[in-house]
Amino acid sequence: MFSEHTEIMPNWAAVEQEELVEQIEKELMIISPEEYLPKYVSSLQDIYDYRSYLKQLPYNDFVVNYLVDFVLEGIQQNKRFRKLDCLKVIRKIIRYQNEPKLKSQTVSKLFKIFKHYIYHKNEEVQNCVNSLLIDRKLLDSELHWIIENYTKSEHFLNRLLRYPNHHNLLEKWANTMYLSEKLTERKAEIIALLIQDKIPEIVQKEHIDTLIWSVYYAKVPLKIKATLLEELFLQEELNCYTLNSLIDICKRLNLELVLKNVRNKLHIESSSQTQLQ
């Protein structure tokens, strides 16, 4: 029998088992986030506390949407939280990932975070939210906002010039930029936004090196890129500078046949000149 002064000692074995259970469930959260993520993450503080685990979460709409909602809640309620650390968790999950596609509603939430923090005084925060939109398709209204503000940030310009697919709004903007001779230092990327299945007539007098890099940046199927590159080199005189660019692009895109066809063209021309001599 215990006296009233007897100290009740904790069951250390039970405590240790609970810690082991928690550790296992945190690992299970990485495998099955739908089941375990809500159990361990219910606030921005939780995102920070469990960030090492959360960065290992799989890329899918449930995970991204679940975490993004906490950041948006923090923004809307003007909460103080470790912005960069929480944003880095989301960036780690979605960076360089495109499959499965995120729902448009989830991408719109990412855009809201981007729009809120892109002017942040910390450049690392800016870079982090910028990466959230890389290769993301936006709503017309969101894309229009970036177009309207493209002069205010290099990040805006990059999101336009590296947009993942052809878009009429971007084509119209690029056409305006080209005709008004703006952004000439990024001319190849501007022209790329005008390319669909052929080189637009308005740019055909540009230097071939500019045009081949435009084809590289263009958001068209690889087969069309190969055709356009061959057409350019069959029509133009080659020199070492442009040939080096072609080789670089073909290696990046794995267009072996294009290089072989150009080689054959050079071989035929060389043979013809030898015979004439």
Mean pLDDT over each residue of the chain, to the nearest integer: 90
What's the rounded Cα separation, in Å, for the pair 68 and 114?
A: 11
Q: Which pLDDT tens digit goes with each residue over 178-195?
A: 999 999 999 999 999 999
Q: How do residues 96-113 score in pLDDT, each as one tens digit?
A: 888 889 999 999 999 999
The first and second tokens of residue 50, run together, are 């469990």
Report pLDDT for 12: 53
Cα-based torsion angle of the residue sequence 125, 127, 132, 134 in order, rounded to the nearest 10 degrees = 170
At residue 2, does pLDDT exceed 50? no
> Which pLDDT value is given to residue 213?
96
Indicate the pTM of the whole model: 0.85
pLDDT value of position 227: 94
Distance CA 49, CA 27 (A): 15
